[in-house]
Amino acid sequence: MSQGRLDEAYSEWKHATELDPVTPLVNVGPGMIRVVQRQPDQAIEELEKALELDPDFFWTHFMLGLAHLLKGDYDSAIAALERGNVPQYRDGHLGHAYAVSGEREKARKLIEGLQTGPRAEYLLPYHLAMIHFGLGEKESGFAHLNQACDLRSPQLFWVKVIPQLDGVHDDPRFQAILRRMNLADPE
């Protein structure tokens, strides 16, 4: 997935669900791939099936939030992201959802809370980048994304494919980040 080989990734995840049909994380995979394929309706369908296995699994709610965000259903996106209550995955995307939905003050309060709250010590700059990009603040977004690269943030595994960054793909700074991570397309 991180290399952009999405059809192959989807096929592998579907095969994994055949081998292990009851593990929640395995069953989230096909929906996750549908999100990065920009197929929100199919993603929602896949993720709702995964919720039947475990209605409380945070990753399913997190991915469902991203699917609704992609679809432009901000209320559903925010509700699902809030329910996917694992801050190390959720906060940047929740702040991004606030920003693009017009709730800019909530996005800014989340930035402030991330920078000054009890988690500031281990804050991954990836989250701040996602919120700043949602607010249209590219300079700050790229500064934090580069800092995330410096720290080898684990969330960067999907920087090339996540829909929230579609608006910066043509920016030379984004292409430089992909090259730095060895995720750039061959020339």
- Tell me, yes or no, whether 96 lies in a domain: no
Residue 122 clears pLDDT 70, i.e. is over it: no
Q: Which of the listed residues 85, 115, 134 is the one where a domain comes to its end?
A: 85
**Long-range contacts, stretch 18-22, CB < 8 angstroms, 24+ apart:** 22/53
* Same domain membership, residue 149 and residue 112: yes
* Same domain membership, residue 133 and residue 177: yes
- Tell me, yes or no, whether 185 lies in a domain: yes
Domain carrying residue 24: 1-85
* Same domain membership, residue 121 and residue 68: no
**Average pLDDT of the chain, as a whole number:** 91
- Res 120: pLDDT: 55
- Res 90: pLDDT: 82
- Tell me, yes or no, whether 92 lies in a domain: no
Average pLDDT over every residue of 105-134:
84
Specify the pTM.
0.90
Q: Is 123 left (phi over 0), alpha (psi -120 to 50) or beta?
A: beta
- Tell me, yes or no, whether 99 lies in a domain: no
3-state secondary structure of 159: coil
pLDDT above 70: percentage of residues in the chain: 95
- Tell me, yes or no, whether 91 lies in a domain: no
Taking only the tens place, the pLDDT of each residue in 154-183 is 888 889 999 999 999 999 999 999 999 988
Asked which of 36-40, 117-121, 155-159 is least confident by mean pLDDT, the reply is 117-121
Q: What tokens were used for 28?
A: 């989230």
- Tell me, yes or no, whether 127 lies in a domain: yes
Taking only the tens place, the pLDDT of each residue in 65-80 is 999 999 999 999 999 9
* Same domain membership, residue 156 and residue 122: yes
- Res 144: pLDDT: 94
- Res 89: pLDDT: 73
Average pLDDT over every residue of 40-55:
95
* Same domain membership, residue 81 and residue 108: no
Q: How many domains does the chain have?
A: 2
CATH code for the domain in which residue 73 is found: 1.25.40.10
